[in-house]
Amino acid sequence: MDELDICPIPPRPGPELFIQRLKAQEEHAFTIYSEALFGINVHFVGNRSQPHYRNPDNCPGCKAKNVKRWKGFLHCWNHNLGQEVFLELTPASALSLHSQLGGVGPLRGNRISVKRTKKDNGRLVISVLTAARDAGKLPPSKDPLESLVRLWGLADVNDHEIVADLVARRQFE
């Protein structure tokens, strides 16, 4: 008989924080808690993301020729929902935010408005409402990786290390 998978540690619940992908015509205001934008390449199967691994020979998404996209995440306070979230950004919206801030920081403390155009996969329009202030008084920033790892069901520590090793962090310079 094959070995049973006895596991004394119960599986953890879903993502630590809500990973928010704005839906069509949603417009929410956020205060950015992140010090830096977190960026990672992922695969998509329909609406669901899965991790991309740098070595395509070891990446199920690459082998299945699933669409690969860059996604950015910001730890934010969502003023409309009244909760902390990880806001998912597209490459274009992340670049737009970068240029609105003049290519220099700080990122943390800015209040932004983000709107999705007509479709769920439509463009994200981002605008800075008020510049960063009192950033020191904000709660500490959180890393979205743990929430992504849980979203993808990679509870195993080794899986986590694999993903951590493969994360591309794009800092605002």
Q: Does 75 bind Zn ion (CB under 5 A)?
A: no
Q: Which is nearer to Zn ion, 41 or 78 (CB)?
A: 41
Among 32, 40, 61, 124, binds Zn ion (CB under 5 A): 61
Give how many residues touch Zn ion by CB under 5 A: 4
How many Å apart are CA 9 and CA 6, to the nearest integer? 9
Nearer to Zn ion, 44 or 172 (CB): 44
109 in contact with Zn ion (CB under 5 A): no
Residue 52 contacts Zn ion per CB under 5 A:
yes
User: In this chain, which of 40, 59, 89, 112 binds Zn ion, going by CB under 5 A?
Assistant: 59
Which window, 10-18, 26-34, 62-70, 95-103, contacts Zn ion (CB under 5 A)?
62-70
Q: Which of 92, 108, 102 is nearest to 30 (CA)?
A: 108
Pair 144, 38: CB distance under 8 Å = yes
The three-point CA angle 77-78-81 to 5° equals 135
Taking CB under 5 A as the criterion, which residues in 141-160 touch Zn ion?
Answer: none
Segment contacting Zn ion by CB under 5 A, of 12-20, 44-52, 73-81, 150-158: 44-52
Q: How far is the CB of 91 from Zn ion (least distance, A)?
A: 17
User: Coil, strand, or helix at residue 159?
Assistant: helix
Distance of closest approach, residue 64 Cβ to Zn ion, in angstroms: 9
Q: What is the DSSP string of 66-105?
A: -EEEEEEEEEEEETTTTEEEEEEE-HHHHHHHHHHTTT--
Q: Two tokens at 165?
A: 């090793």
Q: CA 78, CA 63: separation in Å to the nearest integer?
A: 37
Q: Which residues bind Zn ion (CB under 5 A)?
A: 52, 59, 61-62
